[in-house]
A and B are shown apart, each in its own frame.
Chain A
Amino acid sequence: MIVPLTKRKKDGTLYERPDPIGSLLARLDELPRDEMIERARIRDRAHPDYVPSECLLHFVRGSRRDNSEAWFERLYKILQERVRRLVPRAEEGGGGASLTRERIRDAVFGRFDELLAADRRRPGDKLDFFEVRFDMAIKRLRLDAQDKVWREENRTRPVEGDGDEGLLPEVEAAAASTNPFDGEVFSDPLFRERLYVAIDALPPEQSRTMHLLLLGWPTHSGDPEMMTIAKALECTDRSVRNYRERAMKTLLALFNHGDDQ
């Protein structure tokens, strides 16, 4: 029997697995275990026999009702490997940004381990969302981890300026230049993916500004009712422009360098 989820949404209804996950779970439950392991090893998400992580987690959570430790060890390790592949690795060569990223990864894995162990000790609903949207749940862990790491690092090193102290000359120049991310190239999904990966490595204020720009939010507005980036980030229009230009400078350098190779 596939145990239902017990977590409730704000409206009181129970969380439910997406239909494809629910029906696949029922089929996987009938499979011989060796076959299930073979399918779980498939990493290509487009493969017809691919087993989504939502399903893998369901079976790992079920280990408390089963004594077959060898089987669960294999499933558990496959699931853990997937989590490690999902969270971006630090770049080779070290440096401050790499160290930060590595600390974020460690914090994600540590929290995931805690959640699994707590669920095994006493079944609860904290992992229910992972059985609904696993990748997004891991991103949520990343969010918590990066908040924690950024907070800790901000205590020990100067934080990025609030962007309101005037533009550096080279940033002024970049601001004056044509924005290469404008226009049709923005709507190219492949380019947007590359761009988001690059934005992920920017300082928090810059990454937030760039993301909101990509979503089409205005930096400022004469209409006091309109939501703007400055309003959401609780800073001045000038700060937003500064964050944007600094980010653009970094991204331009990155993409120009990448295109040269």
Chain B
Amino acid sequence: MTSNDSAMSVDEVLEQFMMEDRHDGEVLESYVRAHPLFAAQLIDLSRLIATPEADYEGPLLAIDESRIDASWIAYSAVAAGDAPKEDPFAALIGERGKAMSVALGVPRQVITCFRERRVDPSSVPAPILRRFSEEFELPMAHVIAAMRLPAPASSGRSFKADGKPGVAGQISFEQVLIDAGVSDTDRALLLADG
């Protein structure tokens, strides 16, 4: 339930607490014991969670209305970050695909699996996603979104999968590495999430 990890920040601890299914006295106690430095914040958050939503029913105050208008003006003035207009993985062919396989330390067929959307993004460790993110100069969200796109029509390769299939027939990154013959040692390094 809780990890007694002294390196965790208060934000991480509170977010972990919020993700719990229950927020009763027992769960709170386990967190306070594990993170005594953040006891006050945990207790306050627990109390706020127990407090019913205000959900004010009446008309908004004029000041709230005008603040919402001002907030929209500010928001709409923010230049939106570019969304991927095309599939970034499609560019991983030829020399660029080869360079990427070298950079990640995986056989070329692993890169092909990414290009053909065979890999379940939730199984890919953050450092690998980050490497793609840097390569494509895109936020990680867009990398993951691209991995969830339907497979390109031209991908006609057959592949085997002994592991549990992911979303829309995708397989885990680990299974892709196994299929590509990556050694146990290299696999452990590639699957490390840090």
Tell me whether A and B are bound partners: yes
| Interface positions of A from 57 to 98, Cβ below 8 Å from B | 63-65, 69, 72-73, 76-77, 80-81, 84-89
0/1 interface trace, chain B 16-48, chain A, CB 8 Å (1 if under): 101100001100110011001001110111111
- Residues from chain B with Cβ under 8 Å of A85 in the complex: 54-57, 60
- Cβ contact of A6, chosen from B15, B61, B76, B141, cutoff 8 A: B141
- Which one of A30-38, A173-181, A204-212, A245-253 is at the interface? A204-212
- Once A4-B144, A12-B193 are accepted as A-B contacts, the answer to whether A76 and B18 lie under 8 Å apart by CB is no
Contact size range, B: 35 or more
Q: Pick the most buried of B8, B24, B76, B125: most chain A CB atoms within 10 A of its CB.
A: B76
Q: Chain B's nearest CB lies how many Å from the CB of A196?
A: 4
B residues less than 8 Å from A142 (CB atoms): 48
Residues on B with beta carbons closer than 8 Å to the beta carbon of A72 = 76
**B81 engages A1 (CB within 8 Å):** no
Interface size class on chain A is 35 or more
The reply to whether B72 and A76 form a contact with Cβ atoms under 8 Å apart is yes
Q: How far is the CB of B123 from chain A (nearest CB, A)?
A: 9
Check B51 against A120 for contact (C-beta < 8 Å).
no
The residues of B that contact A129 with a CB separation of less than 8 Å are: 15, 18
CB of B22, distance to nearest CB on chain A (Å): 12
Q: Would you give the shortest CB distance from B67 to chain A, in whole angstroms?
A: 7
Mark A residues whose CB is within 8 Å of B. Answer: 1, 3-4, 6, 8-10, 12-14, 43, 45, 63-65, 69, 72-73, 76-77, 80-81, 84-89, 109, 113, 116-117, 120-125, 129, 132-133, 135-137, 139-140, 142-143, 146-147, 193, 196-197, 199-200, 204, 207-208, 211-212, 214-217, 227, 232-234
Name B's A-contacting residues (CB within 8 A): 3, 5, 8, 12, 14-16, 18-19, 24-25, 28-29, 32-33, 36, 39-41, 43-57, 60-61, 64, 67-69, 71-72, 74-76, 78-81, 83, 121-122, 125-126, 139-142, 144-145, 148-149, 193
